[in-house]
A and B are shown apart, each in its own frame.
Chain A
Amino acid sequence: MELFKPEIGLVFWMFIVFLLLLFVLGKYGWPAIIKSLDKRAALIDKGVEYAQNAKEQLDSAKAEAEKIIAEGQRRQDDILRDAEKMRTSIIEEAKAAASVEAKKVIDAAQLSIEQSRKESELQFRNEVSAFAINIAEKMVRKDMANDKAQADLVDKLLNEVEKKN
């Protein structure tokens, strides 16, 4: 069978072509390609490592930031609570001060009312006594004879007036 007999000419040319190809590719082709591939792989590996580190740093920075934010929140809460406390205490104080002041005013008013009442009482009494003296004068003019009886009467009338008040 022709197909199963290797032809010497083809083997000869295959030898030459293959060795030439192997020489050229082995010297200028494959080593350059493999070197480039290795270099690129190294670059990619480095890039991945770098990215991982960056991600870790970013994560830690994020955690840091969250911590700081939480701290700020806590402080804000404290400040707000303090302010609330201060506000209520100020209001309390103001209320206390106001009530003291009011009491003072009321006391003063009561005092003045008492005074004016006493004054008016005194005035009333003076007026009443003036009336009484007037009446007595009229009675005296009418009946000067019976002084004692008149005085008793005046006294009795005055007592009645006092009782009415």
Chain B
Amino acid sequence: MKRILTILMTLVMLLAVAPFALAQSEAGSADAQKTEAQGDNQINPKKIIFAHLGDTYGWELPFTHDVRLPLPIIVRGNDGSWRCFSSARLMNGAEYEGFKIASADDANYPSKVVEMVNGTEYRPLDLSITKDVLALIISALVVLACVFSLVRWYRRNPMKAPRKGVGIIEVITQFVYDGVIVCTLGDKAKKFGPYLLTVFFLILFMNLLGLCVIFPAGANLTGNIAITMFLAVCTFLLTNLFGTKHYWKDIFWPDVPLWLKFPIPIMPFIELFGIFTKPFALCVRLFANMMGGHMIVLVLTLLIFIFQATMNSMVVTGATTIVSVAFSLFMLLIDTLISFIQAYVFTMLSTLFISLAQEKGEKEQVIESK
């Protein structure tokens, strides 16, 4: 295993260095071109990084920089009518029926579809199938495929344990269901288990697909606050809608000395605040972890180009390439681990929050046991 890893690393580095060596040898002959090109291709790391982390209306296909998979744009214009057209019509700043994609430097809506009404930019209600939406659908389909492969296995071999790929799904399912959900929720596991398992698998596959850099994966989904916020809101709703009487009593009238809750409700205030901070922490934790991981890999890769642009020496560029590729490979491996850990942590904390809201007071427990 160690030897394979070493060989792989060496290969990757050789492959990474080769184009630069070629580019350097050509550089001398193309001196005139370069001075011209430097003006255009001034590297703007911030722009590149956020372009990669953010959402786009087309999906860049591998090995090209211009060919993009056109995706449907669905917008409701200023006049209240719905429009649906291909994003290919808006590429390269083109305008279609008054709609266009604002430039990345736009002050209000950078890289978003805007409608020009009487010369002013107006943001329509935008329900386009963007890159992130398509990636989300792909992730959901992958989850479905995985889960139903397991279901099909059980239908065919009712009492046998699956092996290999299907076996992994079963192991993970059992790990989460038995290790987290049943342990924490007990007899309520059947009620909340499907939600928690779905959340776990969706986050896991969104994370992992986000790490495979080329189409049809590579969208920074869990590093997008809309996704994590939605999931956190779901947990928030499940926690509070199914909360027991005891849970609400503990928030508004907790078992603390009277002066902590009577004239000035200090504890109730803190508890009420806690209701909202819990899902907020869930949302931000997943978002920051995944976005951070993507960002570090991007920065490490960009280092090569920054050094290339500033130093313009073959030795420095080669050395940077080796170091950058090694570090980004290392970071991607860590991100793989983080993908799993973050999915696990999100599920575990959701389970914990839900189970805390399911707790019964001592009185109720006594009555029930009688």
Contacts and interface: CB of A to CB of B under 8 A. Distances in A.
Contact of B226 (A7, A36, A39, A40): A7
B197 interface: yes
Interface of B: 50, 53-55, 110-111, 125-130, 132-133, 136-137, 140, 143-144, 147-148, 150-151, 154-155, 158-159, 161, 170, 173-174, 177, 190, 193-195, 197-198, 202, 224-227, 229-231, 234, 291
Given A11-B229, A13-B136, A22-B194, A3 B154 contact: no
B144 A24 contact: yes
A9 B127 contact: yes
Nearest to A7: B226
A contact residues, range: 20 to 34
A43 B159 contact: yes
The SS class assigned to the A binding surface is helix
B127 A13 contact: yes
B159 A30 contact: no
Contacts of A24: 144
B209 to A, nearest CB: 14
B177 A34 contact: yes
Interface of A: 2-15, 17-18, 20-22, 24-26, 28-34, 36-37, 39-40, 43
Contacts, number: 114
Given A10-B227, A11-B230, A22 B195 contact: yes
B136 A17 contact: yes
B147 A11 contact: no
A25 B194 contact: yes
Nearest to A21: B140
Given A3-B291, A9-B128, A33-B150, 20 more contacts: A2-B50, A3-B54, A3-B225, A6-B226, A7-B55, A8-B126, A13-B136, A18-B230, A20-B140, A21-B144, A22-B198, A26-B194, A26-B198, A29-B151, A30-B197, A33-B147, A36-B154, A36-B158, A39-B159, A40-B159
A10 B150 contact: no
B202 A29 contact: no
B128 A17 contact: no
Contacts of B173: 33, 37
A36 B148 CA distance: 13
B198 A13 contact: no
15 contacts: A2-B110, A7-B226, A9-B130, A9-B133, A10-B224, A11-B229, A11-B230, A13-B129, A13-B137, A18-B230, A25-B143, A25-B197, A30-B197, A34-B190, A37-B173
Contacts of B161: 40
Given A22-B194, A43-B159, A33 B225 contact: no
A26 to B, nearest CB: 4
Contacts of B155: 32
Among all A-B residue pairs, the 8 with the closest Cβ atoms: A6-B226, A26-B194, A36-B154, A10-B226, A30-B194, A29-B147, A13-B133, A14-B230
A25 B144 contact: yes
B46 to A, nearest CB: 11
A22 B237 CA distance: 15
A40 B129 CA distance: 42
Contacts of A26: 194-195, 198
Which of A5, A11, A21, A32 has the most B CB atoms < 10 Å from its CB? A21
